[in-house]
Chains A and B, each alone.
Chain A
Amino acid sequence: MSIYRLLARIVLAACLALGPMLATAQVQDDTARDLLKQLVEANQAEKLGLLKEISETGDERARGWLEAFRGGKLAVVEDTGNVVIVLNNRGRDWEIADALSGDNLGEMSRRDLETVRVNNAMRAQVDGILSVIDLTVTDPQGRLDAARNLLGDVDATLAEQLEARLAEEENADVRAMLANAIAIHRLEQGDAEAIDVLSGSLNPTARAALNTAANGDDPALAAAASKALASIEQKLKINHAAETLYFGLSLGSVLVLAAIGLAITFGVMGVINMAHGELIMLGAYTTWGMQQMLPGQPGLALVLSIPAGFLVAALAGIAIERSVIQFLKGRPLETLLATFGISLILQQLVRTVISPLNRTVVTPEWMSGSIMINEALSLTLNRLYVIGFALVVFAGLMLIMRRTRLGLEVRAVTQNRAMARSMGIKATRVDILTFGLGSGVAGLAGVALSQITNVGPNLGQNYIIDSFMVVVFGGVGNLWGTLVAGLSLGTINQILEPWAGAVLAKIMVLVLIILFIQKRPKGLFPQKGRAAEN
């Protein structure tokens, strides 16, 4: 649910509470009760007129009544003649509430109730009436949704009503939507002017109407419709490209997050950590654990798991460095094998201790839903957050490497260990901190990933090859390279996917990287200078 909508609901609730004058409502009660009673008892033909009449009373409760009617839940108590709404119709005794006051009347045997019968044609009629009622709500978003629901379902009488609404409507979006709804109706009637209104619309219903017109009998109308369609196609293409770009950036930012920690441990320190993927997994499981500890507060848990995930992964990373990697200095292939062993152990540990099955991590409300840019393009919020998070993490790392004492020492130790040590830098301490930093960032990646993929023991495995590819593609030892490589690989993948399929796209990207490395073995941004030589 978008924030606008939530806000609008609160406003609406407030309005309802203050409400129109209670007195008028009281006066209306008797007429309303009569109408409803008639509605339940009337035959099919009469019902339509009664429905209209009810909707025209302008009563705040009309919507509730119509909805109850639509669901067949409107009933009359046979003894008293009271109109009630059935709340729960399971079993022998039904729970009912007074239709007018809304008071819960408890349960009543279903044999004492006369319920209304509704058929599908009637339901469609009610839907139309409901939409028109919705067009008058205070919330512009609600009006917009109502207008959108009407697209393609407008008949001559409704069109007149809509014209009247259009004259009163002030919100530009709602006006455009209403105009579209009317135009679709007019187009169906063969009105060529309606095409001008529709030509800018990205709405699928409008496009369908134009399509019908383009294939219709009237040649002039068909030609105009085809032209309008072409311009819509053009617009759609741009929107589609924007969407692909968005998905690409989102996938890319995930890759950047997964790879950026590796860019530090592998790129800067030269340590191959095949257990990097499992450090990501630990971060994701930390999020899950946090949410287990704070049930009912997924948002708070998620925010807290950012530092927690960092710490857990960083400590695990430091433990790995101290216990294994430090003994394998200068033997990269052995380091690769040993850390691979660690990754197997960590995976199996999670399988045995927690579960081999995927765990669900809840997405907090403020991260779910999407922002709608226009009819054809909407951006999912969780991915937007991940893109933002990736950029923040990247900026943070950049700052640490460039502007802090630690960053300076790390670069010094990487470029010339012996020289750095003779200048008084404690190389071992720098090793620990750097590895901890890279591992911690992997944990952060895990926290982010928990929001968009399944959290399971294989989570890390799925990202390790991709992450290495990103680092190699971007140029080892270069954080900018990792950013550019990650984002571009993600985008390329998304561009290839529609016409090659997900698996083939992935294969093509891998082959592409293999070929790329032929041309530039040191990646996009190779390190320059004497430090680069081995």
Chain B
Amino acid sequence: MTSSNMWLLRPLQERSTQIFLGLLTAAVVVVTILHLATPEGSALHVSAYTVTLLGKYLCYALLAVAVDLVWGYLGILSLGHGAFFALGGYAMGMYLMRQIGDRGVYGDPILPDFMVFLNWQELPWYWHGFDMAWFAFAMVLLVPGALAFVFGFLAFRSRVTGVYLSIITQALTFALMLAFFRNEMGFGGNNGLTDFKDILGFDLRSDGTRLGLFIATGIALAVGYVVCRGIVTSKLGRVSVACRDAEARTRFLGYRVERVQLFVFVVSAMLAGVAGALYVPQVGIINPSEFSPLFSIEIVVWVALGGRATLYGAVIGAVLVNYAKTVFTGVMPDAWLFALGALFVLVTVFLPKGIAGLLQKRRKATDDDGANAQEVAA
């Protein structure tokens, strides 16, 4: 292979990446086997509902990895990553809407139901092309990427960083939420896009498709992880960590800080877009609430809990918090916001390095013990 591919292959030789990929593969395989091979009603059976739920967690995990890439390795706390996630989701949602064809409630072959309902006569220009899967999937990457590029270009060029950038990203997603709530925007307004029928010809309600989406999400997470790992272990990644720790110094050393920031930011936005695109067919709806600042900031706490600048920590955090959310909202819905709020406070005050930090500390302790033992033995 040529050297251009080296940065993608390097992480595969890392022990931590191998462990992560191994565990992820094992998890996906076990779930698949338990879903297919065990009879329904058996204690070991994993229902289609659970498969979809797990798929949702994996989407969140990919999103968390994207946030960890910019926050952990670039020092940019984005409070607007939900926007990229939602944009990817909307691109996928538009494709799925077009796939409905004349099976909608109003039976219009071209116009989605909500447009017929609003008395629109023809498809808005930005809806064209979304009937083709390749175009829609390209948009899943390009739309969040383009927004991140324009926004990042403007922000990094004028050296807006730190808290300012956080607040502006939050304003960005807030503005988008307000915009998408408007019916005139042509994205279904308040209700968003829903009532999907099939994807690439497969029925979305069949168990097989659900399992397929779950596996696809697992693969996307693995690829996303390797890409991020590749970036952070490359030279560019080292410069980006340097930007995080001493931006001015890196600049004076001759690096074009804003270019590094822009590149990493755009990649992260694209990953978030992919996560959103995989999320939509599994939950069956996309609406403007995904743009809400609360969701974006929730993502950050997943990463904070898992441990920033580790990537695998982000995955642990996303899955744990969302599992807790599922349990809490089922058992005592009122308590969830208390728990989430407390999580924010406790993690930042008592667990600044997250769960990954705990794991590392423990490993270091055992390593030290081992070293001491060897010393004693010698």
Number of A-B contacts (CB under 8 A): 113
Majority SS of interface residues in chain A?
helix
Contacting residues, chain B, for A504 (C-beta < 8 A)? 179, 182
Closest partner residue, chain A, to B336 (CB atom): A348
Contacting residues, chain B, for A347 (C-beta < 8 A)? 337
Residues on A facing B (Cβ under 8 Å): 272, 324, 327-328, 331-338, 340-345, 347-349, 351-352, 465, 468-469, 472, 503-504, 506-507, 510-511, 513-515, 517-519, 521
Partner of B174, one of A272, A332, A343, A465: A465
A264 CA / B178 CA spacing, docked (Å): 29
In the complex the two chains form, is B163's CB within 8 Å of A332's CB? yes
Interface residue ranges of B296-333 to A (CB < 8 Å): 297, 300-301, 304
Extra contacts besides A345-B338, A518-B155 (12): CB < 8 Å: A327-B349, A333-B162, A333-B163, A337-B301, A342-B344, A342-B345, A344-B344, A345-B341, A348-B334, A506-B178, A510-B171, A517-B160
In the complex the two chains form, is A344's CB within 8 Å of B162's CB? no
Partner of A337, one of B167, B171, B172, B297: B297
A33 CA / B182 CA spacing, docked (Å): 65
Tell whether B256 is near chain A: CB-to-CB under 8 Å. no
In the complex the two chains form, is B348's CB within 8 Å of A337's CB? yes
Lowest 9 CB-CB distances: which A-B pairs, in order? A341-B344, A344-B341, A345-B341, A348-B337, A338-B348, A341-B341, A510-B175, A341-B345, A334-B348
Contacting residues, chain A, for B155 (C-beta < 8 A)? 518
Contacting residues, chain B, for A328 (C-beta < 8 A)? 348-349
A513 CA / B170 CA spacing, docked (Å): 13
Contacting residues, chain A, for B160 (C-beta < 8 A)? 517-518, 521
User: Known: A337-B304, A507-B179. Contact between A465 and B170, CB under 8 A?
Assistant: yes
Contacting residues, chain B, for A342 (C-beta < 8 A)? 341, 344-345
Contacting residues, chain B, for A332 (C-beta < 8 A)? 162-163
Closest partner residue, chain A, to B170 (CB atom): A465
In the complex the two chains form, is A503's CB within 8 Å of B300's CB? no
Contacting residues, chain B, for A503 (C-beta < 8 A)? 178-179, 181-182
Q: Separation in Å of the B219 CB from the closest CB of chain A?
A: 31
Closest partner residue, chain A, to B179 (CB atom): A507
Q: Separation in Å of the B65 CB from the closest CB of chain A?
A: 18
A500 CA / B162 CA spacing, docked (Å): 32
What are 26 A-B contacts with C-beta separation under 8 Å? A328-B348, A333-B77, A334-B352, A336-B166, A337-B344, A337-B347, A338-B348, A340-B297, A342-B344, A342-B345, A344-B337, A345-B345, A348-B337, A348-B338, A349-B338, A469-B167, A503-B181, A506-B175, A510-B174, A514-B154, A514-B171, A514-B172, A515-B154, A518-B154, A521-B158, A521-B159
In the complex the two chains form, is B342's CB within 8 Å of A517's CB? no
Contacting residues, chain A, for B179 (C-beta < 8 A)? 503-504, 507
In the complex the two chains form, is B159's CB within 8 Å of A472's CB? no
A347 CA / B338 CA spacing, docked (Å): 9
Closest partner residue, chain A, to B335 (CB atom): A348
A415 CA / B343 CA spacing, docked (Å): 33
User: Known: A341-B342, A345-B338, A352-B334. Contact between A336 and B77, CB under 8 A?
Assistant: yes
User: Known: A348-B337, A465-B170, A510-B174. Contact between A517 and B77, CB under 8 A?
Assistant: no
In the complex the two chains form, is B300's CB within 8 Å of A468's CB? no
Contacting residues, chain B, for A334 (C-beta < 8 A)? 348, 352
Contacting residues, chain A, for B171 (C-beta < 8 A)? 465, 468-469, 510, 513-514
User: Known: A510-B171, A517-B164. Contact between A337 and B158, CB under 8 A?
Assistant: no
In the complex the two chains form, is B158's CB within 8 Å of A517's CB? yes
Contacting residues, chain B, for A338 (C-beta < 8 A)? 344-345, 348-349
Closest partner residue, chain A, to B300 (CB atom): A337
Most A C-beta atoms less than 10 A away, residue of B338, B347, B352: B338
Partner of B163, one of A327, A336, A348, A349: A336
A472 CA / B338 CA spacing, docked (Å): 30
In the complex the two chains form, is A341's CB within 8 Å of B343's CB? yes
A506 CA / B179 CA spacing, docked (Å): 9
Closest partner residue, chain A, to B176 (CB atom): A507
Q: Separation in Å of the A458 CB from the closest CB of chain B?
A: 11
A94 CA / B163 CA spacing, docked (Å): 72
Contacting residues, chain B, for A327 (C-beta < 8 A)? 349
Tell whether B116 is near chain A: CB-to-CB under 8 Å. no
A95 CA / B332 CA spacing, docked (Å): 57
Q: Separation in Å of the B70 CB from the closest CB of chain A?
A: 12
A518 CA / B168 CA spacing, docked (Å): 11
In the complex the two chains form, is B349's CB within 8 Å of A324's CB? yes
Q: Separation in Å of the A50 CB from the closest CB of chain B?
A: 57
Contacting residues, chain B, for A349 (C-beta < 8 A)? 338
Contacting residues, chain A, for B158 (C-beta < 8 A)? 517-519, 521
Closest partner residue, chain B, to A501 (CB atom): B182
Tell whether B293 is near chain A: CB-to-CB under 8 Å. yes
Contacting residues, chain B, for A507 (C-beta < 8 A)? 175, 178-179
